[in-house]
């Protein structure tokens, strides 16, 4: 009879278990992906506690990863291996610490030079274009003492992306664009921050331009507080912003094929979101996106309140004096690194900045760094150098705070960062 009641109780309680709790009972796990300066990283895996009375230690677990993508070659060292488990803690199904929780969260090592921690890869697809794309990322978690395994992904938690709407699409003539967007809380009028991705984030998956280099940070609590709330719009081109009609790159010498459609997308987005303050629309981007940001400023000098541009790919020699004068009164903050070998500063941003200053531009700035370093200090700090082209890190992290001559950028005699400065600009 006692056995009968136990079975009866079990049948009653199973329907009330959460979906997450049930899923992890059959070998499934949840992965957590965070945005880092160099891109996304799988930094946690959540499993249901194994059946053991022993106190769990991170040393009791082995986490193996297999990274793959159909028709994509990978080196053995980036295709599979063992992830380092840093520590383990009791949690709920979402990874929140809970001493009485039914789950265990394993915290994994992530690093900029560790491809095994990345769920995306930069590769050339069948259309001949190279870009960052999501790949198949499969884990096998083993609790070594008991032999219990979890080897099926149940769900993904991506906190930085989960706050964005990622299904935006817009068509203009024969051009189709996708986009991601963030809507702030509240009812008052707020600005719009537009971010245009680099050459490696084209495609039709709007999550890539946001997380491939931490552009999600413009919706972070820190930056949103600076603006007292702001929309964030991240348009995506199916190829690359600098594509000319011939299919080749333009550096400003010929027209690109996307600027008209992109401007139409922006104006449509503003129209559909009446809380956007039309006097506070800011546009910025990196590399390809830096080119396009400047292109839209040149084409529509009266529309935007300010620009913030990193790793500018627009060549100075193709900007006429007439064009220069049309934008000299637009507040612009450039960010670049001296060791950028992709968008060479002597060909792009330095002569343009100097021409703007000579033309009497009252509010133009250039933060020119020696190198792009590890800002959080976890991987060597000033001694760790990212590729010099990655100066957008200083923008995303709201680190830029000095001008071309090394002095602080000031507003009302107060030093400001690039986002603090941007938030004060209006038409």
99 belongs to a structural domain: yes
The residue among 157, 188, 205 that closes a domain is 157
Q: E strand or H helix at 411, and its extent? A: strand 410-411
Residues 362 and 337 in one domain: yes
Q: What is the CATH number of the domain that holds 364?
A: 3.40.50.1820
Report the pLDDT value the prediction gives residue 25, as an integer from 0 to 100: 52
The residue among 142, 157, 172 that closes a domain is 157
Q: Is 111 left (phi over 0), alpha (psi -120 to 50) or beta?
A: beta
Strand order in the sheet with 28-36: 85-91, 103-108, 39-48, 28-36, 152-157
The residue range of the domain holding 99 is 20-157
Report the pLDDT value the prediction gives residue 20, as an integer from 0 to 100: 38
- Contact between 192 and 231 under an 8 Å Cβ cutoff? The reply is yes
Report the pLDDT value the prediction gives residue 186, as an integer from 0 to 100: 87
List per-residue pLDDT tens for the chain, 427 residues long.
Answer: 444 333 433 444 444 343 333 334 579 999 999 999 999 999 999 999 987 777 789 999 999 999 999 999 999 999 999 999 999 999 999 999 999 999 999 999 999 999 999 999 999 876 678 899 999 999 999 999 999 999 999 999 999 999 999 999 999 999 999 999 999 998 899 999 999 999 999 999 999 999 999 999 999 999 999 999 999 999 999 999 999 999 999 999 999 999 999 999 999 999 999 999 999 999 999 999 999 999 999 999 999 999 999 999 999 999 999 999 999 999 999 999 999 999 999 999 999 999 999 999 999 999 999 999 999 888 989 999 999 999 999 999 999 999 999 999 999 999 999 999 999 999 9
Report the pLDDT value the prediction gives residue 18, as an integer from 0 to 100: 39
Residues 228 and 333 in one domain: yes
User: How many structural domains comprise the chain?
Assistant: 2
265 belongs to a structural domain: yes
Residues 244 and 150 in one domain: no
Residues 169 and 181 in one domain: yes
Residues 143 and 215 in one domain: no
316 belongs to a structural domain: yes
Q: What is the CATH number of the domain that holds 109?
A: 2.60.40.2180
Residues 300 and 418 in one domain: yes
- Contact between 348 and 316 under an 8 Å Cβ cutoff? The reply is yes
Residues 170 and 315 in one domain: yes
Residues 65 and 189 in one domain: no
The pTM assigned to this predicted structure is 0.92
User: In sequence order, what are the residues at sequence separation of 6 or more whose Cβ sits closer than 8 angstroms to the Cβ of residue 188?
Assistant: 229, 275
Nearest Cα residue to 116 out of 133, 89, 88, 135? 135
How far apart are the C-alpha atoms of 5 and 7, rounded to whole Å? 5
Residues 106 and 206 in one domain: no
302 belongs to a structural domain: yes
How far apart are the C-alpha atoms of 203 and 219, rounded to whole Å? 22
5 belongs to a structural domain: no
The residue among 114, 138, 157 that closes a domain is 157
Nearest Cα residue to 180 out of 221, 236, 218? 236
Residues 58 and 202 in one domain: no
Residues 75 and 197 in one domain: no
- Contact between 309 and 334 under an 8 Å Cβ cutoff? The reply is yes
Buried b (16+ CB within 10 A) or exposed e, 351-389: ebbebbeeeebebbbbbbbebbbbbeeebeeeebebebb
Residues 85 and 200 in one domain: no
Report the pLDDT value the prediction gives residue 69, as an integer from 0 to 100: 95
Given the DSSP bridges, would you call strands 364-369 and 332-337 parallel, antiparallel or unpaired?
A: parallel
7 belongs to a structural domain: no
13 belongs to a structural domain: no
- For the chain, what is the radius of gyration of the CA atoms? 24
192 belongs to a structural domain: yes
DSSP letters along 336-388, please? EETT-SSS-TTTTHHHHHHHHHHTT-SSEEEEEES-EE-TTSSS-GGG-EE-T
């Amino acid at each position: 009879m006692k056995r009968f009641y136990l079975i009866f109780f079990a049948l009653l309680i199973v329907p009330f278990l959460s979906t997450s709790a049930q899923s992890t009972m059959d070998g499934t796990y949840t992965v957590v992906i965070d945005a880092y300066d160099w891109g996304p990283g799988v930094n946690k895996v959540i499993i249901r506690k194994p059946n053991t009375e022993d106190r769990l230690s991170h040393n009791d677990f082995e986490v193996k990863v297999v990274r793959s993508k159909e028709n994509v070659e990978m080196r053995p060292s980036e295709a599979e291996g063992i992830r380092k488990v840093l520590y383990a803690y009791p949690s709920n199904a979402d990874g929140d610490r809970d001493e009485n929780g039914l789950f265990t969260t394993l915290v994994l090592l992530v690093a900029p030079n560790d491809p095994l921690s990345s769920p995306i890869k930069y590769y050339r697809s069948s259309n001949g274009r190279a870009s960052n794309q999501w790949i198949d990322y499969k884990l096998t978690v083993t609790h070594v003492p008991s032999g219990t395994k979890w080897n099926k992904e149940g769900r993904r938690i991506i906190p930085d992306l989960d706050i964005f709407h990622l299904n935006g699409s817009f068509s203009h003539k024969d051009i189709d664009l996708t986009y991601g967007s963030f809507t702030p809380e509240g009812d008052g009028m707020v600005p719009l921050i537009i971010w245009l991705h680099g050459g490696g984030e084209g495609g039709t998956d709007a999550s890539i331009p946001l997380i491939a280099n931490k552009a999600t940070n413009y919706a972070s609590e820190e930056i949103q507080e600076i603006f007292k709330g702001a929309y964030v719009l991240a348009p995506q081109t199916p190829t690359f912003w600098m594509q000319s009609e011939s299919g080749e790159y333009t550096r400003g010498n010929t027209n690109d094929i996307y600027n008209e459609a992109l401007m139409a997308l922006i104006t449509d987005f503003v129209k559909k979101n009446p809380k956007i303050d039309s006097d506070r629309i800011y546009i910025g981007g990196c590399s390809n996106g830096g080119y396009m940001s400047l292109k839209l400023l040149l084409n529509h000098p009266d529309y935007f309140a300010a620009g913030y541009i990193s790793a500018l790919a627009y060549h100075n020699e193709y900007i006429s004096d007439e064009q220069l004068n049309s934008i000299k009164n637009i507040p612009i903050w450039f960010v670049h690194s001296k060791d950028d070998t992709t968008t060479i500063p002597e060909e792009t941003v330095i002569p343009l900045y100097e021409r703007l200053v000579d033309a009497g531009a009252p509010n133009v700035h250039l933060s020119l760094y020696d190198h792009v370093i590890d800002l959080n200090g976890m991987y060597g700090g000033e001694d760790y150098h990212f590729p010099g082209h990655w100066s957008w890190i200083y923008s995303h992290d709201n680190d830029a705070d000095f001008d071309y001559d090394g002095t602080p950028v000031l507003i009302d005699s107060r030093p400001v960062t690039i986002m603090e400065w941007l938030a004060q600009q209006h038409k």
